[in-house]
Structure 1
Amino acid sequence: MNNSMISAMVSMNSIQKRLDVLADNIANVGTNGYKRKEASFEDTLTRVQQQPDGLRKTGRSTPMGFNLGFGARLSNVTYNFSQGPIKQTNKPTDLAIEGNAMFAVQADGVQAYTRDGNFHISPDPLNPKIGYLTTSQGYFVQGTDNQPITVPTNGSLQIDASGKISSVVGSTITPVAQLKLVTPRRPEGLVEKDNNLYTLLPGANANDVLGNANALLPGDPNRSTLRQGALEESNVDLTQEMTDMLQVQRAYQLSARALSSSETMMGMANHLRG
């Protein structure tokens, strides 16, 4: 197998992975709190191909040899946690984060995090007077005590910018809980799961990857705020994603053409040899 065929095959494999990332972004353009994924690539292997001594001429200014590459590979996929547009819904249990923070939730016994604030109140089957604050998939939203948040079902909810939840019954306002917010210090230490959730990479230290967003004082430029009755939309720019997809598809076509040309040349060489 010659170098051109190897380079084309490796490049096509990497381009396909890039297309998968773009397709995932486009598919989630309407997902609340979704964060755009970005792919990075690196050379698989490069070496210097020496040229014949006959090209070593007097007065030559360039060095002998040229770089010979064998394609590129996907090195890693990162998450772009930039702010998405805020959509007003006027639903009391909808929450939008403005800033670099995430909600903490319990997903099937696993600690997880999300930017999707489309919450609901799920009544407790054993006690109809209280309900749990849950995600749209039914996962429990956590408070600063690391326990599921429970709220009375006979009143309305009032949630301030810091995440303090109060129950309002008539003119009586009763504090209920404090939403737990975390700041992704090192997003590369998170891995995306189903249902728009993130968990820690196996072996990652939670204190290194995540910070305590609740501990930031008012006035701190890194402090995040909540907006009740609103949702954060995806930060995917559909126009940019479609433009990137067209460019990547064109690159895939060129690599496929290079592979086809290489195969044709090998067939001609074998035919001449025979």
Structure 2
Amino acid sequence: MNNSMITAMVSMSGIQQRLDLIADNIANINTVGYKRKEASFEDTLTSVMQQSSDFQLPGRATPLGFNMGFGSRMGEVTLNFTQGSLQETGNMMDLAIQGNALFEILTPDGVRAYTRAGDFHIQPNPVDGETAFIVNNQGHLLLNSEGAPIEVPAGSTLSIDGEGNITAVVGTTETAAGRIGLVTPLRPEALEQKDGNLFVLAPGAVIEEVLTATSELPQNEQASIRQGALESSNVDLANEMAEMMQVQRAYQLAARALTSSDTMMNLANNLRG
């Protein structure tokens, strides 16, 4: 297999991964709190080929060697945590984060995950009929600032201020129900996106180095909560479609290079001395 065929094949594989990433972004354009995925690419292998000394002419400024690459591959996928637009819903259980922070969620298997999606609702406590929990759209428990599930009186109406303090109202009785725990990512690259629009710590990451409680930050750096609103995805459809067209053209070019390389090999194989 010659170099041009290897280069085209490797490039097509990397471009296909980029197309998959764009398709994933477009598919989640209406997902609450979704963060756009971005990819970076790098050379798979680059070697320096030396030209003949006959090319060394008087006054030549460029070196005799030239770089020969073998295509590119997707190096890493990063998350764009840019704030999405906020949409008023009128539902008091919808919460939107303004600023750099994440809700802390407890999954059924005991894993702590993080999300920007604030479409919560109240779920009755199956053990105690007088209390209820705040859960997300998948039934995962929302945690308070102490890392425990938030428990509120059953049938109560919740009022939540910008700092996440919860006041449960039943009739004329108001009860403080704790504070929603917000965490701010110090190293967003150490978070992995999982199914259900959740983020978890990457393997080997130390939570103290990746996340910090938002309440421990200076006041001007703290995020706030807006009740009755949801954060939209930060995916821009126009940009994604424009990028998809560019990537498709690049894929077509690589495919044409692969076809041309195959044609030249066939011609060489059919030559008769």
Q: Which TM-score tier does this pair reach, normalised by the shorter chain?
A: over 0.9
Output the CA distance in 2 between the equivalents of 1:102 and 1:11.
36
Structure 1 unpaired stretches of 5+:
none
**Matched residue SS, 2:221:** coil
Deviations along 1:168-193, whole A, 9 cap, x unmatched? 13343211011111111111111111
Q: Number of paired residues? A: 272
Output the CA distance in 1 between the equivalents of 2:62 and 2:189.
41
Aligned residue number for residue 212 of structure 1? 213
- 1:52–1:273 Cα change, 3 Å: farther
**2:155 maps to 1:168:** no
Aligned residue number for residue 87 of structure 1? 87
**Cα displacement (A) at 1:128:** 2.1
1:2-151 matches, cutoff 5 A: 2-108=2-108, 109-151=110-152
Output the CA distance in 2 between the equivalents of 1:191 and 1:91.
30
**Matched residue SS, 1:116:** coil
Counterpart of 2:261 in structure 1: which amino acid? S
**Cα displacement (A) at 1:273:** 5.2
**Matched residue SS, 2:77:** strand
Output the CA distance in 2 between the equivalents of 1:204 and 1:164.
30
Output the CA distance in 1 between the equivalents of 2:210 and 2:127.
37
Output the CA distance in 2 between the equivalents of 1:225 and 1:216.
12
Q: Identity of paired residues, percent?
A: 55
Deviations along 1:142-173, whole A, 9 cap, x unmatched? 01121111111232100000001111133432
Range moving further from structure 2, 21-30 or 54-63: 54-63
**2:192 maps to 1:191:** yes
**Cα displacement (A) at 1:222:** 1.5
Aligned residue number for residue 259 of structure 1? 258
**Matched residue SS, 2:196:** helix
**Cα displacement (A) at 1:11:** 0.5
**2:241 maps to 1:238:** no
Aligned residue number for residue 227 of structure 1? 226
Q: Which runs of 4+ in 1 moved over 3 A?
A: none
**2:205 maps to 1:180:** no
RMSD: 1.1
Output the CA distance in 1 between the equivalents of 2:200 and 2:123.
24
Aligned residue number for residue 201 of structure 1? 202
**Cα displacement (A) at 1:51:** 1.1
**Matched residue SS, 2:158:** strand
TM-score scaled by length of structure 1: 0.97
Structure 2 unpaired stretches of 5+:
none
Deviations along 1:63-93, whole A, 9 cap, x unmatched? 1121111111111000000100000011111
